[in-house]
Amino acid sequence: MHDILDLDRFPLHRPHSPDWQALVDRCRADLAAEGMFNLDGLMRPGIAAQAVAEMAPRFGADAFLHERMHNIYFKPVEGLPPDHPALRQFQTSNRTLCADQIAGSALLRLYEWPQFATFLAATMDKPELHVMEDPLACVNVMSYREGQALNWHFDRSEFTTTLLLQAPDQGGGFEYRTDLRSDGDPNYDGVARLLRGEDPESKVITLSPGTLNVFKGKNTAHRVTPVKGARERVIAVFSYYERPGVTFSDAERLGFYGRAS
């Protein structure tokens, strides 16, 4: 993996060594403080650029255009009227390639590398993580052209693992509000303030290509700001689970990718 990752700075290949443990401890501290950690330059920039170039024809011909209007929860909320300000509607739009469309890529090599899952599990304080057995959903690559964005939402999963491959000319910032809600307090008034642009604790960061981002998005609201310019924002999403054998249903695949197989 030395050819695609900077393992001198990030020794993922040496589990439980002192350097590896120091990196894990740093990532855990960042997760506790900010709800995320970033490994800037984990993937070598040239490899990230090469991956984008290899996928460009597939994005042009075969990618699924995913567009939907949604609220921050992606569903109605029992007890709230449809016009409640916490249920404001937004549009999300991107093009998606599935794992079966990027066979042989460096992204799949990284995803299937056992030491990567071992490292991620340690940072998340999980006993172990398993690759997804779904041939479409295990690794997705999303492209955002000018005007497209991933709008405000909370994640279904506890952690989200992404790798930025290409940054846009402008926009495409990662905006988030840490711990906006909790399992015991939905904080609908706070959600409404955020959606009105009135939350002073909202932050925006701009990632560089090759950066691994692990994010606790279940209770932290977040979005990607609209892309501007001719250069697309391209990002890979890796899906791991605490149990083996996880797949999406046909209905989920149709909703996310427009096809069941």
Task: Read off the DSSP letter of residue 13.
Answer: T
Structural domain contains residue 6: no
Residue numbers in the chain where pLDDT is lower than 70: none
Question: What is the C-alpha to C-alpha distance for residues 147 and 170, in angstroms, rounded to an integer?
Answer: 11
Indicate which CATH number applies to the domain containing 190.
2.60.120.620
Question: What is the C-alpha to C-alpha distance for residues 103 and 52, in angstroms, rounded to an integer?
Answer: 14
pLDDT number for residue 69: 95
pLDDT number for residue 192: 97
Q: Please write the tens of the pLDDT for every residue from 166-200.
A: 999 999 999 999 999 999 999 999 999 999 999 99
pTM over 0.85: yes
Q: Please write the tens of the pLDDT for every residue from 5-26.
A: 999 999 999 999 999 999 999 9
CB 211 within 8 A of CB 164: yes
Structural domain contains residue 25: yes
Maximum pairwise Cα distance, the chain: 54
pLDDT number for residue 180: 96
DSSP H or E stretch at residue 236: strand 233-238
Structural domain contains residue 9: no
Q: Any bridge partners for residue 29, and if so which?
A: none
Question: What is the C-alpha to C-alpha distance for residues 211 and 42, in angstroms, rounded to an integer?
Answer: 6
- Token digits of residue 63: 């990618």
Structural domain contains residue 10: no
Structural domain contains residue 11: no
Structural domain contains residue 229: yes
Question: What is the C-alpha to C-alpha distance for residues 215 and 217, in angstroms, rounded to an integer?
Answer: 6
Share the mean pLDDT of the chain. 96
pLDDT number for residue 127: 97
**Number of separate domains in the chain:** 1
Question: What is the C-alpha to C-alpha distance for residues 11 and 20, in angstroms, rounded to an integer?
Answer: 6
∠ CA 65-67-69, nearest 5°, is 175
Structural domain contains residue 4: no
At 244, the amino acid letter reads P
Three-class SS state of 107:
helix
Q: Which of 27, 38, 6 is nearest to 211 (CA)?
A: 38
Enclosing domain of residue 241: 18-257
pLDDT number for residue 156: 87
Q: Which of 224, 257, 222, 47 is nearest to 145 (CA)?
A: 224
Q: Which of 247, 206, 227, 222 is nearest to 94 (CA)?
A: 227
Structural domain contains residue 246: yes
Question: What is the C-alpha to C-alpha distance for residues 165 and 211, in angstroms, rounded to an integer?
Answer: 8
